[in-house]
Chains A and B, each alone.
Chain A
């Protein structure tokens, strides 16, 4: 899966352009494909020699370590990585010790990582926005809430979106670093889905079997939401159930337009790679490091609520905007 990495330490650059390594998680997700495209464009603008390596899945730490080691050996000036897990921290530290600046994108590393900067979606805020929207949209209806999450592993992005949603809706989240420890009776249940259509459908079927009065469903991403909708229509409950989601992929935004998903929080992978490369440029020019966004330990690359049913007091854009800005 490693693209064009031979690991020989002599080819520092082509045409004297500084080598920048980009390490993504996986190529089977348009999010990372789009991020790579954005990086390639921006690298051309800034005069970098960008090389890309990919892991083989959301948590393939091993391939990422190898890629970071290879870029280090090749004499890269900077490495951008979308961390598959904290397991890459030792490799990151070795790269930094060799004088390379390393930025994380998409997901933050653990707080002790010593990474030079992070460019990510505020996933907590992404969840919170759809939570606030759902609260307003439901109005006086007694909420019966279910969540379709990613996995049982309490992965940071999974936790941040889920807890953000509950907080946005006004539900006490208990320990905000843990999903499913809430005791609010309005929460009916949760299922894990692997964040794809098949998991979303089966999970939703199980939840409806448990309690057919559910009227609000939060989903970890839009493919999960699309699967959940299939279960909802099969049960004939389209009018009863509101589905909200997070991501901003083009198929997802189209589903918002169709009314399959009521609202989704869009993230901006192009911005992540663009801003990260500009930060590389700034660092190479004068040694300055990127500043974190207010109240966060990373640079927030933005999140926007997309819906065709705007609610008072909740800022949102419509699907026309969404289809222009969506990725993948």
Chain B
């Protein structure tokens, strides 16, 4: 496995090839010859490229979808519609950053949307019902996200409960708290302070509206793509996800890495709560409750492996946008809503099938 990965690197000479796990030994030089000497079929060639550049798959799907839908519907291929699609998926995409970090550690977080709802309901409760300064309410709401993330992290690292079960439990707990604090009621638009909806406002470029929320989303992706690629913390996340034992043996404090990942994920989710308020204008305890699975969908379609250790932050952005493009494109082409869900299902299975295939040849 390690040998072939290394071969792949040197053969294609790509420094941004798939991350090898930290304790990876240097590849024996001789292996290069074997690979270089063998003839690759076109399929094998594509697979090798996808192994070294995991964004190729989702990017190809996106480009093809954009072309097809632009031909089918005249209203589709406009800057205005592309801006709209990004607005429609931005909340899922931002949750997807948190989800990607956790999935890269071979974990999963079923509670992301529940944490988001709880954080925004706390923001609303503090700012509107209790009349606290809105900046303070915003910060405390984000802090709720951090605390929820820390709770998830503690359950995973201290109680040694698998992330799936841990976050299945906290999904119920955080959602119940959300309903308890909000009484199940929305705060209507007119009562929400302007700062909380600020990310929904925006500016005009070429006659198209872009929102500050979109800008924030893009900046967060750039930031975390950089962090994962260029910091020790990023390298440790891949190492822990690729092989926990190997990471431990090589001196990485595994639990500390896991804990930090859940806390940072909580921070991102807290910020996403602010984004959600901007998006829908009011503070609702139920809007976006389905985003737990939607965020996982974005990560998977973006090519990140559910088994940990392989994937890209930018893939998740592509994954979320792909879902938005199919949803918008199929709707404009006159397909009924249920065919949107049908198509997303096919995309998920296709993405995981590709991942399985790549894992196999990666060995």
- Could you tell me the distance in whole angstroms from the C-beta of A19 to the nearest C-beta in chain B? 26
Contact B338 A197 (CB under 8 A): no
In the bound complex, what is the Cα–Cα distance between A191 and B279 (angstroms)?
18
Interface string of A14-49 (1 = CB under 8 A from B): 000000000000011110010000000000000000
Binds B, one of A74-82, A130-138, A156-164, A251-259: A251-259
Scoring A192, A226, A258 by chain B CB atoms within 10 A of each residue's CB, the highest score goes to A226
Binds A, one of B54-62, B132-140, B181-189: B181-189
> A212-259: which residues lie under 8 A (CB-CB) from chain B?
223, 226-227, 229-230, 234, 249-252, 254-255, 258
- Could you tell me the distance in whole angstroms from the C-beta of B166 to the nearest C-beta in chain A? 20
- Could you tell me the distance in whole angstroms from the C-beta of A33 to the nearest C-beta in chain B? 6
Q: A108 at interface (Cβ–Cβ under 8 A)?
A: no
Contact A209 B280 (CB under 8 A): no
Q: Which residues of B contact A328 (CB under 8 A)?
A: 183-185
Contact B190 A210 (CB under 8 A): no
- Could you tell me the distance in whole angstroms from the C-beta of A162 to the nearest C-beta in chain B? 14
Contact A226 B280 (CB under 8 A): yes
Contact B281 A226 (CB under 8 A): yes
Contact A251 B188 (CB under 8 A): yes
In the bound complex, what is the Cα–Cα distance between A209 and B69 (angstroms)?
14
Contact B337 A210 (CB under 8 A): no
| Total CB contacts across the A-B interface at under 8 A | 110
Contact B287 A223 (CB under 8 A): yes
Binds A, one of B17-25, B328-336, B349-357: B328-336
Q: Which A-chain residue is minimally distant from B76 (CB atoms)?
A: A209
Q: Which A-chain residue is minimally distant from B284 (CB atoms)?
A: A197
Contact B281 A206 (CB under 8 A): no
In the bound complex, what is the Cα–Cα distance between A197 and B280 (angstroms)?
6
In the bound complex, what is the Cα–Cα distance between A201 and B209 (angstroms)?
15
Contact A234 B209 (CB under 8 A): yes
Contact B179 A27 (CB under 8 A): yes
Q: A194 at interface (Cβ–Cβ under 8 A)?
A: yes
- Could you tell me the distance in whole angstroms from the C-beta of B283 to the nearest C-beta in chain A? 9
- Could you tell me the distance in whole angstroms from the C-beta of B73 to the nearest C-beta in chain A? 9
- Could you tell me the distance in whole angstroms from the C-beta of A237 to the nearest C-beta in chain B? 12
Interface string of A160-192 (1 = CB under 8 A from B): 000000000000000000001000000000011
Contact A199 B287 (CB under 8 A): yes
Q: Which residues of B contact A227 (CB under 8 A)?
A: 280-282, 287
Q: Which residues of B contact A73 (CB under 8 A)?
A: none
Known: A28-B184, A328-B184, A328-B185. A206 touches B287 (CB 8 A): no
Q: Which A-chain residue is minimally distant from B288 (CB atoms)?
A: A198
In the bound complex, what is the Cα–Cα distance between A255 and B280 (angstroms)?
14
Q: Which residues of B contact A234 (CB under 8 A)?
A: 200, 209
Q: How large is the interface on A (under 10, 10 to 19, 20 to 34, 35 or more residues)?
A: 35 or more
Q: A196 at interface (Cβ–Cβ under 8 A)?
A: yes
- Could you tell me the distance in whole angstroms from the C-beta of A98 to the nearest C-beta in chain B? 32
Q: A202 at interface (Cβ–Cβ under 8 A)?
A: yes
- Could you tell me the distance in whole angstroms from the C-beta of B88 to the nearest C-beta in chain A? 5
> A139-160: which residues lie under 8 A (CB-CB) from chain B?
152
Contact B280 A251 (CB under 8 A): no
Contact B287 A254 (CB under 8 A): no
Contact A197 B287 (CB under 8 A): yes
Interface string of B283-309 (1 = CB under 8 A from A): 011111110000000000000000000
In the bound complex, what is the Cα–Cα distance between A249 and B336 (angstroms)?
30
Q: Which A-chain residue is minimally distant from B283 (CB atoms)?
A: A197
Q: B75 at interface (Cβ–Cβ under 8 A)?
A: yes
Contact A226 B282 (CB under 8 A): yes
Q: Which A-chain residue is minimally distant from B291 (CB atoms)?
A: A198
Chain B interface residue count, CB cutoff 8 Å, equals: 40
Known: A152-B338, A196-B284, A198-B279. A206 touches B332 (CB 8 A): yes
| From A152, A194, A198, A209, contact of B336 by CB (8 A) | A152
Q: B10 at interface (Cβ–Cβ under 8 A)?
A: no
- Could you tell me the distance in whole angstroms from the C-beta of A181 to the nearest C-beta in chain B? 12
Contact B75 A210 (CB under 8 A): yes
Contact A206 B184 (CB under 8 A): no
Q: B271 at interface (Cβ–Cβ under 8 A)?
A: no
Contact B189 A198 (CB under 8 A): no
Q: Which B-chain residue is minimally distant from A207 (CB atoms)?
A: B331
> A267-304: which residues lie under 8 A (CB-CB) from chain B?
none
Contact A198 B184 (CB under 8 A): no
> B21-54: which residues lie under 8 A (CB-CB) from chain A?
none
In the bound complex, what is the Cα–Cα distance between A33 and B337 (angstroms)?
31
Q: Which residues of A contact B279 (CB under 8 A)?
A: 198, 201, 230
Q: B70 at interface (Cβ–Cβ under 8 A)?
A: no
Q: Which residues of A contact B337 (CB under 8 A)?
A: 152, 191-192
In the bound complex, what is the Cα–Cα distance between A258 and B186 (angstroms)?
16
- Could you tell me the distance in whole angstroms from the C-beta of A305 to the nearest C-beta in chain B? 20
Contact A251 B282 (CB under 8 A): yes
Contact B185 A30 (CB under 8 A): yes
Q: A122 at interface (Cβ–Cβ under 8 A)?
A: no
Contact A201 B188 (CB under 8 A): no
Contact A229 B281 (CB under 8 A): yes
- Could you tell me the distance in whole angstroms from the C-beta of B229 to the nearest C-beta in chain A? 32
> B232-291: which residues lie under 8 A (CB-CB) from chain A?
276, 279-282, 284-290
Q: Which A-chain residue is minimally distant from B91 (CB atoms)?
A: A198
Q: Which residues of B contact A200 (CB under 8 A)?
A: 280
Q: Which residues of B contact A27 (CB under 8 A)?
A: 179, 184
> B195-251: which residues lie under 8 A (CB-CB) from chain A?
200, 209
Q: B84 at interface (Cβ–Cβ under 8 A)?
A: yes
| From B190, B200, B290, contact of A255 by CB (8 A) | B190
Q: A263 at interface (Cβ–Cβ under 8 A)?
A: no
- Could you tell me the distance in whole angstroms from the C-beta of B91 to the nearest C-beta in chain A? 8
Task: Please name 15 further chain A to chain B contacts, defined as beta carbons within 8 Å, in addition to the given A194-B290, A230-B279, sorted by A numbering.
Answer: A30-B185, A152-B337, A191-B337, A196-B286, A197-B281, A197-B284, A199-B287, A202-B88, A223-B287, A227-B287, A229-B189, A230-B200, A234-B209, A249-B186, A254-B188
| A-B pairs with lowest CB-CB distance, top 3 | A197-B280, A251-B188, A198-B287
Sample 10 A-B pairs with CB under 8 A, ordered by A number. Answer: A27-B179, A28-B286, A152-B336, A191-B337, A196-B287, A198-B279, A201-B280, A206-B328, A254-B191, A258-B189
